[in-house]
Structure 1
Amino acid sequence: MQKTPAECTTMTDVRAEIDRLDRALMELFAERWGYIERAAEIKRPLKLKADIPGRVAEVRENARRNAIDLGLAPDFYERLWSELINHAIAHERKLLGEDES
């Protein structure tokens, strides 16, 4: 049964909730990855590149704003999202054949 932080009375409770959230985050990352792959499929016939700087800036700013809205450290989450973006772009480049010389 899910507990709020305040309802956790032991480290076992806290660890169980962190593990539950980590799994939920991974499920969301897996869902996000499906959209990354679909983006590459859509970009191919449109001859769009994997790296679209305007969109990259928008996603980074969204991460920063969302972190601020939720009381989190914006610099950290913007860096974390930058890693996600870089990983996605590298994957799209492979799918689009951009990394082939």
Structure 2
Amino acid sequence: MSQTNEQRPAIEKTAHCASMADVRRHIDALDDILVPLLVERGGYMTQAARIKDSEHQVRDEDRIEFIVARVRERAQAEGGNPDVIEAIYRSMMEAYIAFEHQEYARLRQQGE
């Protein structure tokens, strides 16, 4: 039984590119998918800031390490480099933690 495009590891979906224009076109197309997902993910940081009782709850080291382990495993399964994915996720999570702190303060200032 052959695998469909959706079942193949992500690395196998990478198209052969003959030029930098091809590379950039594919990257731009992926960014068009990634940015809305990242914005949606950020919306959940606002939800978390609303739900948490204390600003000290914003940074959750156990959750960070759980996410890192999860995405490293997923990167490996998709044929990617787990170290690169971990670095991206750690950076992204730091940015979202800073955003959540801002949202926590904003929401409390507004009385929510």
TM band (smaller chain) = 0.7 to 0.9
TM-score normalised by the chain length of structure 2: 0.69
- Number of residue pairs matched? 91
Instruction: Give yes or no for the alignment of 1:17 onto 2:26.
Output: yes
1:49-60 correspondence to structure 2 within 5 Å: 49-60=57-68
Of residues 52, 59, 66, the one that matches 2:74 is 66
1:13 CA displacement: 4.6
1:96 CA displacement: 2.4
**What one-letter code is carried by the residue in structure 1 that aligns with 2:92?**
L
1:54 CA displacement: 0.8
| Cα distance in 2, alignment partners of residues 12 and 65 from structure 1 | 32
Match of 2:15 in 1: 5
TM-score normalised by the chain length of structure 1: 0.75
| Cα distance in 2, alignment partners of residues 34 and 96 from structure 1 | 13
- Provide Cα deviations, 1:70-94, integer angstroms capped at 9, x if missing partner: 0100011101100011111111122
Match of 1:26 in 2: 35
Gaps of 5+ in 1: none
List structure 1 runs of 4+ shifted beyond 4 angstroms: 8-14
Greater relative contact order (CA < 8 Å, ≥ 6 in sequence): 2
1:9 CA displacement: 6.7
